[in-house]
Amino acid sequence: MFPIALLVNRVIDKALPGRDFSALLGAIAAICALALAGGGLQLANRRISIDAIKAAIAHLRTRLIKAQLQGSRKYYSEEDLDILHSRIVQDTFRVDSMAGALLVSTIPGTLISIGLFFVLLSLNLTLSLVCVAMAPFFAAGVLIMSKRLKALIKAFHLDFSRYSKGVKFVLGSNELIKISTAESFENKRQGDTIENLKASHSAALWFSAIMRVSQQQLLMLSGAFILLAGGYFVIEGRLSLGELIAFYAALGMLNGNARAVIESVPTIVEGFESLRVLRGILDDARGEDGNSGAKGSAKGALAGQGQRKRGARRP
């Protein structure tokens, strides 16, 4: 990162004004080599991350299955099994996606951004302080919007579980529905569930898009403001053109990594909500298996997400 910025500075301030083609060629070759090395490191990180994530998710799924096999009769008589099935299957997939976002985008992007910030400090302290002044606005925006997004995602997960339960009921009780001539009633009820799912999913996706776009626009505006300040310094003779371009190149890399981190936030919020529910399921099954103790948090997580099973009651 830092070598690339220095090479850009060298090209603009020395190679081009001095008409030194060999220096230009050497700098470009070095930049290309560094870029290829960076790509290789990214692929290595992706390979290691994939292996680690899939192993962890497989272990989580194994624990969930084992917990269900060890559940007591009381546990199975009280839980809504259709909702429980949907949560175990869907939430493990969402946790998988969250882990991928963390290890592939969020953590590397954050570490690289921190490194690039120190590069910016070494290139120009004044412009770097301008970046620092803007950081709290980004952080506050992400925190505030994440809370709202979490609530929308929770509602979407609830509606998705109800939809999954409804489909399972229709498939398993198809003959009974026909004998009871309840097709119209069931079609309307499942249609209402689908409409609720459409509304909650659309709301979550729309707010997620608003969050991404607003943060991206703030990054672009901050880049434009820094370019304005840097251009003023060049005009005043306090900064060379090469130094400005080198700083802006490093800033562009920082913005790219920051954008990747921002785009991963909705996936992480959704994954943490799913992880909370799965942990509750494990605690609940373990509490029933151990004969007493307090109820785990799964019922709290699932209570608002589906009705309790009572005999042959329909979903």
Q: Catalogue all structural domains in the chain, each as residue range(s) with its CATH number.
A: 50-303 (1.20.1560.10)
With a cut of 70, say whether residue 289 has pLDDT above it: no
Round the average pLDDT of the chain to a whole number and report it: 80
Which tens digits make up the pLDDT trace of 6-63?
777 777 767 777 777 887 888 888 888 888 888 888 888 888 888 888 899 899 989 8
Which tens digits make up the pLDDT trace of 75-104?
777 777 778 888 888 889 889 989 988 988
pTM for the full predicted model: 0.67
Task: Write the burial class of residue 149 (CB in 10 Å: 0-12 exposed, 13-18 middle, 19+ buried).
Answer: buried
Q: By C-alpha distance, which of 260, 252, 251, 253 is closest to 212?
A: 260
pLDDT score of 288: 57
Convert 240-273 to b/e letters by CB count within 10 Å (16 or more is b): eebbbbbbbbbbebbbebbbbbbbbbbbbbbbbb
CB atoms within 10 A of CB 301: 23
The DSSP code sequence of 63-107 is HHHHHHHT--HHHHHHS-HHHHHHHHHHHHHHHHHHHHHIIIIIH
pLDDT score of 5: 66
pLDDT score of 287: 64
305 band by pLDDT with thresholds 50, 70 and 90: very low
